[in-house]
Amino acid sequence: MLDIRLLREDPEAIKARVKTRGGDAWELIDEILVCDEKRRSGETEKQQLQADRNRISKEIGALKRDGKDSSEIEAQVRQIGERIKEIGEEVDAAETRQQDLLLQVPNMPHLECPVGEDETANPTIREWGKQSDFSFKPKDHVEIGADLGLFDFELAAKISGSGFVTFTGAGAKLQRALIQFLLNLHTTEHGYKEVSPPFIINRDCMFGTGQLPKFEDDMYGLEEGAMFLAPTAEVPVTNLYREELLQDPAFPIKTTAYTPCFRREAGSAGRESRGMIRMHQFDKVELVNIVHPEKSYEQLETLTQEAEKVLQLLGLHYRTIELCTGDVGFSSAKTYDIEVWAPGHGGYLEVSSCSNFEDYQARRMKLRFKDEDGKNRFCHTLNGSGTALPRLYVAFIETHQQEDGSILIPEPLQPYMGTDRIPG
Q: Quick one: which segment of 18-26, 140-148, 368-376, 416-424 binds RNA (CB under 7 A)?
A: 368-376
Task: Candidates 30, 44, 126, 405: give the one binding RNA (CB under 7 A).
Answer: 44
Residue 244 in the binding site for RNA (CB under 7 A): no
Dihedral of CA 233/234/240/243: which sign? negative
Q: What is the rounded CA–CA span in Å between residue 215 and residue 211?
A: 5
Residue 6 in the binding site for RNA (CB under 7 A): no
Q: How many CB atoms are closer than 10 A to CB 84?
A: 18
Residue 54 in the binding site for RNA (CB under 7 A): yes
Residue 64 in the binding site for RNA (CB under 7 A): yes
Least distance in angstroms from the C-beta of 33 to RNA: 12
Residue 187 in the binding site for RNA (CB under 7 A): no
Q: What is the rounded CA–CA span in Å between residue 312 and residue 143?
A: 25
Task: Candidates 17, 21, 53, 139: give the one binding RNA (CB under 7 A).
Answer: 53
Residue 19 in the binding site for RNA (CB under 7 A): no
Task: Candidates 13, 125, 146, 245: give the one binding RNA (CB under 7 A).
Answer: 245
Pairing type for strands 193-195 and 151-152 reads: unpaired
Cα–chain center distance at 246: 21
Q: What is the rounded CA–CA span in Å between residue 293 and residue 334?
A: 14
Residue 170 in the binding site for RNA (CB under 7 A): no
Any idea how long the chain is?
A: 424
Least distance in angstroms from the C-beta of 67 to RNA: 12
Work out the burial of residue 252: count CB atoms within 10 Å of its CB; fewer than 13 is exposed, 13-18 middle, 19 or more buried.
buried
Phi, psi of 335 (to 5 degrees): -140, 135
Residue 196 in the binding site for RNA (CB under 7 A): no
Closer CB to RNA, residue 31 or residue 301? Answer: 31
Q: Report DSSP state, residue 185.
A: I
Least distance in angstroms from the C-beta of 367 to RNA: 12
Q: How many CB atoms are closer than 10 A to CB 287?
A: 27
Q: Quick one: which segment of 36-44, 157-165, 307-315, 398-406 binds RNA (CB under 7 A)?
A: 36-44
Window 259-318: residues binding RNA (CB under 7 A): none
Within 13 Å of residue 195, how many CA atoms lie on the same side as its CB? 19
Q: What is the rounded CA–CA span in Å between residue 260 and residue 390?
A: 11
Q: What is the rounded CA–CA span in Å between residue 143 and residue 360?
A: 43
Least distance in angstroms from the C-beta of 378 to RNA: 9
Least distance in angstroms from the C-beta of 86 to RNA: 12
Task: Candidates 11, 19, 25, 40: give the one binding RNA (CB under 7 A).
Answer: 40
Residue 113's closest CA among 306, 321, 304, 339?
321
Q: 251 to each of 29, 187, 193, 369, how far by Cα in Å?
A: 33, 16, 13, 10
Closer CB to RNA, residue 121 or residue 246? Answer: 246
Closer CB to RNA, residue 45 or residue 152? Answer: 45
Closer CB to RNA, residue 67 or residue 418? Answer: 67
Residues that bind RNA (CB under 7 A): 39-40, 43-44, 47-48, 50-51, 53-58, 60-61, 64, 74, 77-78, 81, 245, 247, 368, 370, 376
